Amino acid sequence: MERIKCTLQYDGTFFAGFQVQPDKRTVQQVLEEALKKMHKGSFVRVTPSGRTDAGVHAVGQVVHFDTPLSIPEKNWLMAFQSLLPDDVFVDRVEKVADSFHARFDVKEKEYRYKIYTGEKPDIFRRHYSYHVSRPLHVEAMSEACTHLIGTHDFTSLSSAKSTVKGDKIRTIYEAELYEDGDEVIIRIKGSGFLYNMVRIIAGTLIEVGTGKREPGDFKHIIEGKDRSLAGKTAPPQGLYLWKVSYD
């Protein structure tokens, strides 16, 4: 058996998220169906770096799987290209050590959240960014970002419905904003993220941007360890799992 690591993009619009669910179209399901065809009907389990929710996109999701096949990397790419639907694209296939694990070995994840700031709706971006038509104070949002960096208990900035066991302490390495034309993009890198964490951070940063909150509020929100202190969860279509890094 060989262990294979795949880096892939997907457009989350028409998926009910990554993880298999009965009677729903999911990224895991289409990947496992493609692998089943390559393995003459045998089931092959795919393990991701983590799940993504319905409507959330990926530019650099990583998965691993084990296979009895021994074929060159470029043939894997061609097989995926011909068997996957047009909203999933496998960018890279690598043979890795048997000990490699797409979830347990994650060293760093990067997410981006795209906010389209045009006055009018742009229907071509309705699935790919969150439209905020009120003017955003980008400097205030940037200042708010600085309070995220470091090791904190992120209870306030993760879903209260989370069933994740263990503590809610995570380390954020970088959190910043940049502008690209009429988009404001939040870029955040960390050791790991809790359920809905990036979308709650985005929603709360937008409330800073529209003047509903002060940049310094982030400090108190985090210290309070209470989800109700933070802002709304921003919608999924602005969120991209951008990159997953390993040692």
Q: Residue 25 or residue 168: which is nearer to its own copies going by CB?
A: 25
CA–CA distance, 203 with 57 (Å, rounded to integer): 17
Q: Kindly state whether residue 73 participates in binding its own copies, applying the rule CB under 8 A.
A: no
Site string for its own copies, 33-72 (x = CB under 8 A): ------------------------x---------------
CA–CA distance, 130 with 133 (Å, rounded to integer): 10
| 119, 240, 205, 127: CA torsion to nearest 10 | 30
Contact partners, residue 30, CB within 8 Å, separation at least 6: 84, 85, 88
H-type alpha helices, 112-196: 138-146
Question: How many CB atoms lie under 10 A from the CB of residue 25?
Answer: 14
Query: Among the candidate windows 61-69, 81-89, 145-153, 190-198, which touches its own copies by CB under 8 A?
Result: 81-89
CA–CA distance, 246 with 63 (Å, rounded to integer): 12
3-class secondary structure, 170: strand
CA–CA distance, 87 with 81 (Å, rounded to integer): 11
State both tokens at 184. Answer: 């404001």
Minimum distance from residue 69 beta carbon to its own copies (Å):
24
CA–CA distance, 115 with 134 (Å, rounded to integer): 11
Give catalytic status of residue 11 as yes or no: no
Question: How many CB atoms lie under 10 A from the CB of residue 21?
Answer: 13
Query: Among the candidate windows 15-23, 42-50, 83-91, 205-213, which touches its own copies by CB under 8 A?
Result: 83-91
Minimum distance from residue 245 beta carbon to its own copies (Å):
20
Q: Residue 98 or residue 180: which is nearer to its own copies going by CB?
A: 180
Query: Among the candidate windows 116-124, 160-168, 196-204, 205-213, which touches its own copies by CB under 8 A?
Result: 116-124
Footprint on residues 122-161 left by its own copies (CB under 8 A):
122-124, 126, 128
Q: Kindly state whether residue 10 participates in binding its own copies, applying the rule CB under 8 A.
A: yes
Minimum distance from residue 204 beta carbon to its own copies (Å):
26
Q: Kindly state whether residue 91 participates in binding its own copies, applying the rule CB under 8 A.
A: yes
Q: Kindly state whether residue 182 participates in binding its own copies, applying the rule CB under 8 A.
A: no
Q: Annotated catalytic sites, by residue?
A: 53
Interacting residues with its own copies (CB under 8 A): 9-11, 57, 86-89, 91, 120-124, 126, 128
